[in-house]
Structure 1
Amino acid sequence: MDFTYSEEQRMLADSLRRFIDAEYGFEARRKSARGGGSLDRAVWKGLAEMGVLGLTIDSEYGGFGEGATSQLVVQRELGRGLVLEPVTPSSVMAAAVLGAYGSAAQKQDWLPAIAAGERIVTLAYLEPGTRYRPEAARASASRSGGGYVLNGTKSLAWHGEAADAFLLTARVAGSDEIALFLVPRDSAGLSVSGYPTMDGLRAADVKLADVAVPADALVGQPGDGLAALDLGLSHGIAALCAEAAGAMEKLIEITAEYLGTRQQFGKPLAAFQALQHRVADMLVQKELAMSMAYVAAQALDEADPAQRRRMLSAAKVTVAKAGRFVGQQAVQLHGGMGMTDELAVGDYFKRLTMIDPLLGDSDYHLQRYTQVMAA
């Protein structure tokens, strides 16, 4: 896989960076986050018009049919700008699941709307007490007439408040199968309770109380749930790794600029060799994270599921560790100002810290990596 930017990718990256700088500055992001939302419809429309939301969706459904390398380019820029909007859960993860496992009707109904920014779909697979293990789902799907009745609770649905539909996992009654259902937000018996997360994003708990869905709400076959979910999570992890690398890149630029302007003992902090070494260490970790983001993107084309999981888990753990290091160093190098809420450094630190628990924390992925290697 060639990760050298093509001319089209370079133009996309430049256009996206200019758009974020112009329409999504620090103050605008802060205002959106503190206003209790993480979806600016004007920004969302702009991302759709630039082709970001339909980047990997097939052209027959209004997208551009690009691959993992182009997605990495976009996610890197979104990370630099700390973009709040639900690009990863909807346009990356949900689009990948529906593109691979959705029926013809599901694809036609939802993929063009996702690409155009008209609809948002997110995954809801976590449950209280199950940690990151989707196979331990307790939500149930009972067959009823020609469809199913869903009951249970999902937690920490990423951008659940903004979603028009959820890709929900549930255990089919009378079997060990985990199925995946596409459930509209306005379904009777479905309720959503949203709340903020540490990094300014939003999550939600989704409760299902006798939610009746037709048979065509099933995504794939009843036994395809875990495989379909794993595909979505794989694309999400690759996107997160690229986003984190972009955030580290921008945070280092912010820190270097601060060290160049802050005076101590009559000269800028950047003149002190000890601080130069710490910035150099940050750069090393950022480059390591970027390299592992390439590994994660390459994993999406890996035919062997075990090898794909190994590569993604290795990337996720390495990037999370690098993000913590870069974030902590940036806060410390800003001195007392780094501990205040006045500078952007705090926002980047929080986001990089939250990269670890999203889509499986380091403990989970280390265990998964070990299991794959042992097998």
Structure 2
Amino acid sequence: MDFEYSTEQRMLADSLARLVADNWTLARRRAREGGLDPAAWNALAELGVLGLTIDPEHGGFGEAPASLLPVHLELGRGLVDEPVIASGVMSATALRASGNAEAAARWLPAIASGAAILALAYQEPGRRYAVAPETCALSGLVLDGSKHLVWHGAEAHAWIVSARDTADGEPVLLVVPADAPGVAVSDMSTLDRSRCARIDFSRTRLAPDQVLARGEAARAALALALEWGTAALCAHAAGAIARLLDITVDYLKTRKQFGQPLAAFQALQHRMAEMVVAREMALSMAYVAAAALAEPDARTRRRMIAAAKIEAGQAGRCVSQLAVQLHGGMGMTDELEVGDFFKRLTVVELLFGDTAEQLGIMEETAAMDEAATMDATTTMEETT
């Protein structure tokens, strides 16, 4: 995959950088407390950010997965907390992958234009990172159960909800409008000032056209949505890491001790070198995650994205901790935005599965590959 920016991508990245600089300053981010800014959201839609990978037939631009990289790098540099990944990446991917043409025609143009925000509701209380639905159940067309940690859930006009069909135990994906009867939403702030929600469904009656996919189609669409979301999140993390490094280097060049800048001290130069290495590793693995989205083999794709997520978490922890330390006592205060980057990178490590969860994915896919190789060898020997 060629990651050299095209002319169009460079123009988009430059325009987005200017938009982020104007709308996501420290003061404006904190004043919003993670809430949606309609003007900024519309500006993102007008730039084409929300419909970037949505096909032109549904009002998007039909760009390749690699286009996620320049966009989410810039959004990460500005700590943009709007539901771009939740709606424009994950929900759009789930709709596209479900194979439900009617639902795609209804929702994808609205997502691309910013008129509708969708969020993916798949996690259930007490089940940590488990993806397969269990306690949230669909009986006929009646939905009961709870979803929690729904990223930007309270801002959404509808949710893509995973549930277990009580008739056959198979998973089902549903599009549930936020104004559906029997729905209760509890909005809450997270560590990094973004928002998540708990959604409770009590005898929520749905229409037949709100069933997005069933069985294997539902399972595959949900998995692909999480993979696309994780890849975009890795790029977001790489952008945040790069910006935090820039802030730290500027501080060390400005702050003086014993008559010279802190950047002149060799011990601190070593710490900066560690941060540079971590930044380059995070960026490299963000490339890997974006490349994985075009990988046809599902196990290889999962393993590549898991590896990228692990590196994003480790690099984010390294850079954010060193940034706080190198700012001295001020790094622990709310006066500087260093803490904002620290909190965002901490949350990034936990979203969609922490390091332990990603290591489990890598072990699982490696075991599956080994089993497939052994089966192929056995078959070949028997044939011979």
Bin for the TM-score computed over the shorter chain: over 0.9
Runs of 4+ residues over 4 Å off in structure 1: none
Out of 60, 63, 78, the residue aligned to residue 60 of structure 2 is 63
Aligned to 1:132: 129
Task: Give distance in 2, aligned partners of 1:23 and 1:141.
Answer: 41
Counterpart selection for 2:220 from 218, 227, 251? 227
Contact 1:134 1:226 in 2 (8 A): no
Paired with 2:53 and 2:186, the residues of 1 have a C-alpha distance of 30
Deviation at 1:131, TM superposition (A): 1.1
> What secondary structure does 1:82 align onto?
coil
Match of residue 172 from structure 1: 165
Normalised TM-score (structure 2): 0.94
Distance 1:308 1:225 in 2: 18
In the alignment, the residues of structure 2 paired with residue 50 and residue 105 of structure 1 have an alpha-carbon distance, to the nearest angstrom, of 26
Specify the alignment match of 2:319 in structure 1: 326
Contact 1:130–1:136 at 8 Å: present in 2 too? no
**Would you say 1:9 and 2:9 are equivalent positions?**
yes
- Out of 109, 112, 124, the position equivalent to 2:109 is 112
Q: State how 1:192-231 maps to structure 2 within 5 Å.
A: 192-231=185-224
Q: Indicate which of 175, 178, 182 corresponds to 2:175.
A: 182
Deviation, 1:215, is: 1.6
Whole-Å Cα distance in 2 between the matches of residues 150 and 222 of structure 1? Answer: 17
The answer to whether the Cα contact below 8 Å between 2:118 and 2:159 also exists between their aligned partners in 1 is: yes
Q: Aligned to 1:219, what secondary structure does the other structure show?
A: strand
Whether 1:51 and 2:48 are equivalent positions in the alignment is yes
Q: Aligned residue for 2:258? A: 265
Question: Quick one: distance in 1 between partners of 2:308 and 2:277?
Answer: 16
- Return the alpha-carbon distance in structure 1 between the equivalents of residues 133 and 216 of structure 2: 14
Q: When the two structures are superposed, what TM-score results if normalisation uses the length of structure 1?
A: 0.96
Q: Distance in 1 between matches of 2:289 and 2:327?
A: 31
Structure 2 regions of 5+ residues with no counterpart? 369-384
Q: Secondary structure at the match of 2:219?
A: helix
Q: Which runs of 5+ in 1 are unaligned?
A: none
AA aligned to 1:2 is D
Of 46, 57, 81, the residue aligned with 2:78 is 81
Could you tell me the percent identity over the aligned residues? Answer: 52
CA RMSD of aligned residues (A): 1.0
3-state SS of 1:220 partner: strand
Please list, as runs of the form range in 1=range in 2, the aligned pairs for 1:244-263 lying within 5 A after superposition: 244-263=237-256
- Tell me the amino acid that sits aligned with residue 71 of structure 1: L
Tell me the residue number matched to 2:232. Answer: 239
| CA–CA separation in structure 1 for the residues paired with 2:95 and 2:298 | 19
Conserved 8 A contact 1:137-1:169 = no
Query: Deviations along 1:80-135, whole A, 9 cap, x unmatched?
Result: 00001000000000001111215222112111111111100000010011111112
User: Matches of 2:11 and 2:249 in 1, distance apart?
Assistant: 26
The answer on whether the counterparts of 1:89 and 1:121 sit within 8 Å (CA) in structure 2 is yes
Deviation at 1:22, TM superposition (A): 1.8
One-letter code aligned to 1:32: R
Q: In 2, distance between residues paired with 1:204 and 1:102?
A: 28
Contact 1:48/1:117 (CA < 8 Å) preserved in 2? yes
What CA distance in whole angstroms lies between the structure 1 residues aligned with 2:126 and 2:249?
42
Structure 1, residues 273-326: CA drift from partner, whole Å, max 9, x if none? Answer: 111111111010010011111111111111111111111111111110110000
Counterpart residue number, 1:96:
93
